Chain A
Amino acid sequence: MKTYDLVELASRNLRESVLRNSLTTLGIAVGVASLVAMLSLGIGLQQLANRRLEHSGLFDSVLVFTPRGPEGFGPRRAASPAEPRRLDESARQEISRIAGVAEAYPEIRVPTEVRYNGKPFRTVVEGLPPSAAESAAMEGIQGHFFSKPDAAEAILQADFAKELDPDTARLRGRPLTLVYAESVSIGNFPPGRSPTGAAAAGRSPRSDRGEPAGFSVLRKEATLTIVGVTESQPNAGFERFGRARIFVPLDLAEKMIPPQISALLDSPVRQPAPPAQAGSAGRPTDGPLYATLIVRVADVKNIEPVENAIKRMGFSTFSLQDATRNLRQFFAVLDLFLGIFGSLALAVASLGIINTLVMAILERRREIGILKALGASDRDVKGLFFAEAGVMGLVGGAAGVALGWAIGHTINLGANIYLQRQNLPSQTIWLVPWWLVVGAIAFSLVVSLLAGLYPASRAARLDPAQTLKYE
């Protein structure tokens, strides 16, 4: 028999015992719905967690520093055979070019004195790259992110903002003055001279000999406009210098080069130029040295290769990779268990299919005999019962996906009403990706066909001469 005729006959047969077949199909639908609801909850939670973590900047970032340690206070590694690579602009460019790296920017935190309304406050200023606009910390911002990458603007951390003015809404648009120390290189000055205006100087002994010398610290002031107040803090998990409470554009922060202890220790002391080339060629570096680079990857999966590539360049790295791996493992196990519990209902439903079809065989013994007398082969009879199981599986699967979707939608709705009452932003907790829709219907079909195996082969084995004998 042709497949089309088989399906048509099967559908026709199913329409005959409407109540029984509908109940069986409903059983399958409930099974599929529970599977879809469970799995989509797992998927939704996983995506929610991933989204939150990715935005937090904790899991998609690698901290890069010279092997001695980010602060430069760690013991020197005597065993290190080669000179450590300098963490400067060229290194930053090189890291940026590693496949999978979204951006690499220096972590710049500057201790400052802040003047607001003439009153001084002491705090730490941090530079934020333009990409921080997308981070979770900026989601609940009062006001807006920096208008330009080098705008003279500041975003305040909420607690600090309250210190400035209890009514934080009034702060927006008001000026803020930063007083900070800028380090200025004083290399290549003739012996005995120092740059004009230097308020203090750190000098290595060699500066007397006209070689690259060290730096001088200048007192600087900058006036910024407050554009926003944020509750949380970007990169909060990586803070080591104490909380930064004022955020400024990274480009602006890079100009406020703080005295870097690593610079004092590394250069020029450890990289003396050969005497013959002393002069401009002997300059140890073309730009500032960075204490720490923050490298963000495009995809959390890239963390490990990127970290390894940076390590091969001779830098030390730090990331929370292990934490994300554990998290992924947790969700894999969660999904597995949700899937198993969801499948249980479908397994029960498959027993319903077996029961319904076995009943149908008993009822339709004579009809099977007639079919065989008319020339139906065992395969035709088997195919017919198989098709009946398949139609129930397909219809039940589709209904189940719809039902599961409705259940999930209700969960979402309820959860969001709760979140709203708690003054929290709404979230998609429950998610049905297209592959789950297709997969659930296909799974339902396969389970139904498996359930149809026994009844179908039993029907095919019926002896037509015997079945037609009964009056």
Chain B
Amino acid sequence: MSDAAPRILRAERVSRHYAMGSAVIRAVDEVSLEVGAGEFVALLGSSGSGKSTLLNLMGGLDRPTSGAMVVAGRDLATLGAEELARYRRHSVGMIFQSFNLVPRMTVEENLELPLRLAEVERGERRARVEEALDRVGLQARLRHRPSELSGGEQQRVAIARALVNRPTILLADEPTGNLDSRTGTEILTLIEEINRASGTTVVLVTHEEARADRIAKRKIFLADGRLVEERKPN
């Protein structure tokens, strides 16, 4: 964590265990880390290292089995279901490898979903949708369905949707995994721009260290659910 920035996220011995029959899977095992406000952190590790599970815990999609996940002073582990939903709605935006757009809805309708959930007035929604699309450079695709867009465009829509409620943290789970190399680079450049321009904290899950080296300020390595190393980019 950079010394200048105040801390926005802190994991304290966070674990997430799953019972599978009689065996216990330790997807995340006693991980402690801190992320500063406006920081760009990359979570690295091989498949099954627990990086996506850790990201879900940060995003309030999942709850830790033990430990604390403190975001902006509140421990997500202690929040009720309703409060956790509010956290997901307002404080955090998530993007995924598979974009996770609702295929039967247009770009505009997809972007409107978080605004509906946040009970944003109808009149304001349109402006917020256009503002978000403007940031990802896709104003012309308002009425298109996801299937009519390229992979890169779909991920841009997903980013716009994640940002439409103006969250303070953007969590990206392998956002380039389904994209070709050039498009992947464009997406990461976009995320970097967002981080730089609006000071949105970014936690990026990836298994490509070279990409992380290019844009992340800090790299955190996970293996078998444990934090094994933390270092600055090469």
Contact = CB atoms under 8 A, between A and B. Distances in A.
Contacts of B94: 373
B145 to A, nearest CB: 12
A380 B104 contact: no
B114 A375 contact: yes
Interface string B86-109: 111110001010101110110001
Nearest to B99: A370
Contacts of B61: 372-373, 464-465, 468
A206 interface: no
A429 B87 CA distance: 61
A387 to B, nearest CB: 13
Nearest to A374: B114
A367 B94 CA distance: 15
A376 B104 CA distance: 18
A364 to B, nearest CB: 9
A377 B85 contact: yes
Interface in A342-399: 366-367, 369-380
A9 interface: yes
B51 interface: no
Interface residues on chain B, size class? 20 to 34
B65 interface: no
Given A366-B100, A465-B56, A468-B96, A1 B89 contact: no
Interface stretch (B4-12, B115-123, B183-191, B225-233): B115-123
A373 B88 contact: yes
A379 B86 CA distance: 12
Nearest to B87: A375
B100 A373 contact: yes
Interface string A1-21: 110010001001000100000
Contacts of A371: 113, 117
Interface in A102-131: none
B165 A375 contact: yes
A126 to B, nearest CB: 76
Interface string B202-217: 0000000000000000
Interface of B: 53, 56, 59, 61-62, 81-82, 85-90, 94, 96, 98, 100-102, 104-105, 109, 113-114, 116-119, 161, 165
6 contacts: A1-B117, A370-B101, A373-B59, A375-B87, A380-B117, A468-B100
